[in-house]
Amino acid sequence: MIKTVLQPQPTQNDPYVVDNYPYGYTMRTRMRYWIETTNRGQRFVRQSLNPKTGKWNKPKKSTYCQIMLAGLNEENHVKFTGISMYSSDEAKKFQEKYQEYFNDYQRKEMINILKMLEVYDKVEYTIRARKFMNKITGEITESVPLFEMNNYIEVDDDGKPVDREAEDKKQDEMRSLINRSAVSNASKATSVESAINTFKRVK
């Protein structure tokens, strides 16, 4: 857990450097840390200096988050924390705790996340079990052995045949409409380009 957020946030050109860092069993070296920002989001990077060669080792990188911050824990060890678009409650808590440390990218990203979640949180989903009718007996069931699928057709709750291709297309169109609404809602607070980039990072 982060106790103190590093300010300004370290970058590759201006990393946070720790001297006398343990290397192997007996040696000591330097370790540097930074937050990397790409079109995929942000991730935490650490890189050690090989004391035998004097050259930097290959950097080790975390998985991406939409927003990531580096800081120190109670033992003054470098740690990181981040947030992506999962839930409004988590995003709001993260914003309340860390917003004073956000840079311009992070401020816009957080606005976009919250504005998109305003739309997604209003979406209601209905999960319906798929039903299948035996072509010969007319029996309807929700479970069909794979090797018997040719003997059944998919039907709706009224027993009418389902056009799976048309149904899938309808679902795709609905998801597209929801996503466009989310991007539109975010773009009103930042910009169209910023909102689209945030959406791409979520996908």
Q: What is the pLDDT of residues 118-174, one digit of tens each?
A: 999 999 888 888 999 999 999 999 999 999 999 999 999 899 999 989 989 999 999
CA 53: distance to chain centroid? Answer: 38
Q: What is the pLDDT of residue 86?
A: 84
- Tell me which residue of 23, 31, 105 sits closest to 68, measured CA to CA: 105
Q: What is the pLDDT of residue 126?
A: 86
Give domain limits for the chain: 4-83, 99-203
pLDDT beneath 50: ranges in the chain: none
Angle (CA) 87 93 99, round 5°: 115
Omega before residue 8 within 30° of 0, cis: yes
Q: For residue 37, what are the CA distances in angstroms to 43, 44, 126?
A: 7, 9, 37
For 184, the enclosing helix (H) or strand (E) is helix 164-187
Q: What is the pLDDT of residue 203?
A: 64
Q: What is the pLDDT of residue 127?
A: 86
Residue 75: HSE in the Cβ half-sphere, 13 Å Cα cutoff: 4
Amino acid at 178: I
Residue 11, number of CB atoms within 10 A of its CB: 14
Residue 30: HSE in the Cβ half-sphere, 13 Å Cα cutoff: 10
